[in-house]
Structure 1
Amino acid sequence: MKLGFIGTGNMASAIMGGIIKNQIIPANDIIGADVMEAGRERVKDQFKIQVTADNHEVINSSDIIILSVKPQFYAEVIAEIKDDVREDQIIITIAPGKTLAWLKEQFGKNVKIVRTMPNTPALVGAGMTAACPNEYMTKEEIAYVLTLLESFGRVEIIPERLMDTVVSVSGSSPAYVFMFIEAMADAAVSGGMPRAQAYQFAAQAVLGSAKMVLETGKHPGELKDMVCSPAGTTIEAVRVLEEKGFRSSVIEAMKTCEEISKSM
C-alpha cells in the first residue's frame, strides 16, 4: 500500500511516525504534500519520506490519502483533488465538524472515506482515535485502516453521531489535562518543590491514574474512594474541589467544546 498525506503538520507527523516505527508501511512508500517548504523538509529529514508541493502528485501515487490540513481548508483542498481521486482509493479525514455527508457532497461522487478524530498524545504513541467508515468501505479495508490507526495508540469505531462528543472527551481534552498538570505543579512549587520536579510528580500521577482506570476496570469513583482515607488529606482536597465546582467546570467546558465542533 502507498500512503499519502496532504498536510505535514504535528498530527500527520504523529501518524507517520507510528506507521513507520511499527513497520506497517515503509518510509519510501509514503509521500507528503505541504504548501510550506519548511514543513515538507522537516518530515523529509525526520522520516525519510518523499515530499512534494503538489497535492495532485500525492493523489496520483497513493492508495490511501490522509487529509491532514486544518478544517477551514478542507473545501478548498477537496475541490482541488476531487477529479483525481479514484474509486479504489481510501480517504482518511481528521477534521472536526466535517461529516461523511458533507465530505461526499464536496467530492461529488462515491468515495471510500473513513472519518477519524485522533488526539495529540499520538505524538508519543499514546493517542486515542475514533473512526467512522462510510458505506463504501469493505470489512478488509476497514481492518487495514484500523491497523494504521492503532500504530499510534488506541482506536474505536463509533457511530458518527458521537463524533462531536469524541472531540470534547479525547480530541480536545489533552489541553484540559495539561492545565490540570500545570495547576498541580504550580501548587507544588508554592510548597517549595522545584518546577521541573513538580512537573514530573504531577504528570506521572496523572499517567498512573489513567493507567489504573484502563487496566483495573474499576469505576473511577471506586478508585477515588481507595485514595480517600477517613478524616485524611485527600478527602479534604476532594471536598474543596467539589466546593469550587471542579466537576461542573469540566462538564460545562466539554459541552461547549462539543457545540463548537457541531458548528464547524
Structure 2
Amino acid sequence: LKSMFLDLFSGSHSYLRAFSSSPVVSLAIERGWNESASPNVRGPPALVYSFSQLEEKLKAGYKSTTAGKFTEALRVFLSILHTIPLVVVESRREVDEVKELIIIVKEYVLGLQMELKRREMRDDPIRQQELAAYFTHCNLQTPHLRLALLSAMSVSYKAKNLATASTFARRLLETNPTVESQAKMARQVVQAAERNMTDATQLNYDFRNPFVVCGATYVPIYRGQKDVSCPYCTARFVPSQDGKL
C-alpha cells in the first residue's frame, strides 16, 4: 500500500511559490471546501481515489480477462482490492456497492491466480485439470465463465477424462454460448462421452459436493470442512493458513 499512501499524501497538498529568497508554501487541499466554510475549521483532506475510478478499473479488468490478458487483469483486480480501503463513500447505498465490489473482485483474483498457476504446470496434467475445474466454480460473468468451461473441457478431454469433460460441456451448453464453434465443440464432447463415460485419471474434484477453493493452496474446501476466512475480502483458506498473510 506504500505507493498509494504516497499518492494520497502528495495529492492532498499543493505548493505556492513565495519570494525568491523564501521556501515554497505548502497548502493542504480540503475535501468539499467552499467559500462559506469557516477559515478556522479544517476539513478532511482531498483524496485522489474515488469509487467511480474503481468502477472504471473493474471494466478494464473485465476487458483484459475477455482478451485473455490474465496477468494484466489480475494486476488490475488486485489494485482495486488495495485501493478500496482508501476510498470514502457518502451514502449507505455506496457502502453496499463497495462491499459487493470486494466480493466480485475477490472471485476474479482467485480464478485468475489459479489459471496462471495452471499454465505453469505443464508437466503435471492432473493438477492442470484440477485447477481448470476449480476455475469454473468462481463467480464470474457469463462470457468469462464460458472461457473457463471451454478451457476445463478441453484439458479434461485431452487427458481422456471424458466423463469429467462432459460435465463442463453440459454446463457450457446451459449458458447458451453465442459463439457457434464453442457450442459445436461442447456437443461433440458430450457425444464422445456418451459412448465412453469414463475417466482415465482420478481428480481431487467432486462437482456434486458444494465447495469453495482455498485462496493459497488452491484445493477444494467441501461443505462441512473447517476453514478460515480473510476478514477483508472473505476469501476462504484451509486451517493451516491461519495467521499467514
Q: TM-score scaled to structure 1, two decimals?
A: 0.31
Q: TM-score scaled to structure 2, two decimals?
A: 0.33
Larger Rg: 2
Higher strand content, 1 or 2: 1
Q: Between the two structures, name the one with larger relative contact order (CA 8 Å, sep ≥ 6).
A: 1
